[in-house]
A and B are shown apart, each in its own frame.
Chain A
C-alpha cells in the first residue's frame, strides 16, 4: 500500500514543492520591488497571504483525490477486493499525504529561508508588521533573536498544522464526492468560506493571531481538529458503499 501511494505521491510532491517555492520567491521579489517600506505592503499582498493560503492550497491538492480519483478511475474496486482492511487503505493514504505535505512544506520553507536572508537585516518588529506576507520561515535574524525564535517557530507550527488539518478535511470530502471535480469544487467552497469569514472580522488579521499568548492553545486545538477529521474520514470510509 505504501509502495503504491508513494508511486502516486512523488510526482505530486515534486510539482508542489516547485510551485510552492516559486510562488514564495515571486511574493518575496514582488515585496522587495513593489513594497518600498515594510510598513505599507500593497493591498494585493495583504490579501494574498502566501503562507496561509499556499499551505491550504497545497493541502487541498494533496487531499482532494485521495478517494475521489480512485473512484473515478475504477481502481478503488481493485483495492477493496484485496485482502486489506478499509482502515488500512484510508490511513495509509491520509498519513502518507500528510507526510508529503509536511516534507514539501519544510523543504520549500528551508529554500525560502535562505533566500529571505539575502541580503536584508530585519528586526522582529518589522517582521511582525508584515506578518503573514512573508514566507513561512522568517529570516535567520528572527530565529537568532531570543524573543523572535519562539514567535517564528509558532508561526511555522500553526501553518503546518493548518495544512495537515486541511488534508484531512479534503480526504473526508473526497470520500463523498462522486468525481474529482466535485471534490475539488467542495474544497474550493470551504476555503472561500474560510477566507471570507476570516477577512470579515473587523480589523482582522488575515492570519491567526500569534502576537497573543494563546499560540499553544491554537496549535493544540487545531491538532485535535485534525485528529477529529482524520477519525471522521476513517469512520465514513469504512461504512461507505462503493
Chain B
C-alpha cells in the first residue's frame, strides 16, 4: 500500500451523549417492516410489505427489476417517506429516531456514491468525520488488503476497487447492520466471489446483520441465511433458505395418456403445474413423497423428484 496509513481520529463531534452506543442492540430483529407502503413517481412501489430480519442473519432481499427493492431500502434509511406502515431498525422507529438508527448501520449503494474528485485518503477522512463511530485499524487493514492507493483519485479507480473502498468505509464504522443495495453490480465473477467472501468472513462472522438486495441469485444462495422475494411491491415469500429448499421441491412427471393440468393442480401440495407435451413439472410444497404417490395413482409413467435451487424457486413463484 502506497502512502501512509490513515491515522486514528478522535471521536467525531456529532456524538450523541444520550445514545448508549456501547450497548449493542439486544432485540430479535434488526429490521421490522409492518405493512410498509411507499410510492415512487406516483405509483405504489412497495405495497404492504411486512418482514422481519433476524438479528445476526445474512438476509437476501431479491426480486426482479422494478420490484421495489431499492425503494424499500431507501425508505428504511429515511431517504424516502413511507406512505403507510411502520419501520423499526435496530429497535428505533425511523420516523422519529432516524438519526439514531443511522448511527448503528452502514449503507452501500449499487451506484458508486463516492466523491470522484477526492483521493482515497480524503474520502476515508470524509467518511470518518461523518461517522458516529470509526475504527482506524479496520480501515487500514482493508486498504492494505485491497491494495488501495491512498493518493489515487477515486474516479481513476476501477469499479471493483471503488466497491472495495466503499465496503471498507462501510465496515470501518463497525455497524451492527450493514445494508447493501446490489453490492456486486457490475463486478466480474472473480471480484464478485471475493467480495462476497469478504462480507461473509468479516461481517457475518462478527455477528452483524447483513441485509442485501440483489437480482443475482447465485450470490444470494451462496451467502444468505434468509431470503425474501418481492415482486411488484408485494412480498411473495420470506423464509430461511434451507427451509425453503427443503419445502419447495419439484416433480418431473411423464404420462402416457393426456391429462388435464387441473387434475394435477387438485393434488394437495401442488401449487403450480408446467406442461411440456406429456411431461409435466409440478411445484410442490410440503410432503413431496405423498404427492409422488398420488401422481403414480393417476398413471404416471415416470416420476422424478428434483431439488430446486433458489433460481428455480424464484422463477416458479414469479411465474405463478
Contacts and interface: CB of A to CB of B under 8 A. Distances in A.
A230 to B, nearest CB: 22
A76 B80 CA distance: 13
A73 B131 contact: no
Nearest to A82: B130
B114 A4 contact: no
A80 interface: yes
Contact of A83 (B114, B122, B131): B131
A84 B130 contact: yes
A164 B103 CA distance: 34
Contacts of B122: 7
Interface residues of A, number: 22
Nearest to A78: B113
Nearest to A239: B81
Contacts of B106: 81
Interface string B1-26: 00000000000001000000000000
Contact of A1 (B112, B125, B129): B129
Nearest to A4: B126
A117 interface: no
Contacts of B130: 1, 4, 79, 82-84
Given A80-B79, A81-B107, A82-B130, A75 B99 contact: no
Interface in B109-126: 109, 111-118, 122, 125-126
Nearest to A81: B107
B115 A4 contact: yes
Given A7-B118, A7-B126, A79-B130, A74 B109 contact: yes
A242 interface: yes
B95 to A, nearest CB: 13
B116 to A, nearest CB: 7
B102 interface: yes
B251 interface: no
B14 A77 contact: no
Contacts of B118: 7
Interface string A62-104: 0000000000011111111111110010000000000000000
Contacts of B62: none
A3 B14 contact: no
A241 interface: yes
B109 A3 contact: no
Contacts of B295: none
Contacts of B292: none
**Chain A interface helix/strand/loop/mixed:** helix
Interface in B131-156: 131-132
Contacts of A242: 74, 79-80
A79 to B, nearest CB: 7
Contacts of B103: 83
Contacts of A7: 118, 122, 126
A73 B109 CA distance: 13
B77 interface: yes
Contacts of A82: 102, 130-131
B78 A75 contact: no
Nearest to B129: A3
Interface in B84-113: 99-100, 102-103, 106-107, 109, 111-113
A3 B125 contact: yes
Contacts of A85: 99
B125 A241 contact: no
A239 B80 CA distance: 9
Contacts of A83: 14, 99-100, 102-103, 130-132
Query: A80, A81, A241 — which one has the most chain B CB atoms within 10 A of its CB?
Result: A81
A8 B129 CA distance: 15
B52 to A, nearest CB: 22
Contacts of B126: 3-4, 7
28 contacts: A1-B130, A3-B125, A3-B126, A3-B129, A4-B130, A7-B122, A73-B113, A73-B115, A74-B112, A74-B113, A75-B114, A77-B79, A77-B111, A78-B113, A78-B114, A78-B115, A81-B77, A81-B102, A81-B106, A81-B109, A82-B131, A83-B99, A83-B103, A83-B131, A83-B132, A84-B99, A88-B14, A242-B80
Interface of B: 14, 74, 77-81, 99-100, 102-103, 106-107, 109, 111-118, 122, 125-126, 129-132
Given A73-B115, A80-B77, A83-B130, 20 more contacts: A3-B125, A3-B129, A4-B126, A7-B118, A7-B122, A8-B115, A73-B116, A76-B113, A77-B79, A77-B107, A78-B114, A79-B130, A80-B78, A81-B107, A83-B99, A83-B100, A84-B99, A88-B14, A241-B79, A242-B79
